[in-house]
Amino acid sequence: MTAEKKTSAKADQLKGAVKETLGRAVGNERMTAEGRAERAKGDMRQAGHKAQDALKR
């Protein structure tokens, strides 16, 4: 996985976690759900890249 893609996936995870936490703090269910979705998107991208790296070996 290239460094740029890895950073992008980690950024999505972090952004989602922050949004989810902020949504919970202010009681905004929509923001919480969006944060969960963004974090899951980052998790899936990272898992996909890890699988590709494993297949290259």
Q: What is the pLDDT of residue 2?
A: 76
Domain of residue 20, residue span: 3-56
Q: Worst-scoring range by mean pLDDT, 2-6, 11-15, 24-28, 46-50?
A: 2-6
* Mean per-residue pLDDT over the chain, rounded: 91
Please state the domain count of the chain: 1
Question: Which tokens is 50 given?
Answer: 């890890």
Dist CA 21 CA 29 (whole Å): 11
Segment 18-27, tens digit of pLDDT: 999 999 999 9
pTM of structure = 0.81
Per-residue b or e along 37-48, where b marks 16 or more CB atoms closer than 10 Å to that residue's CB: ebbeebeebbee
Confidence of residue 53 (pLDDT cuts 50, 70, 90): confident
Segment 30-45, tens digit of pLDDT: 999 999 999 999 999 9
| DSSP symbol at 27 | T
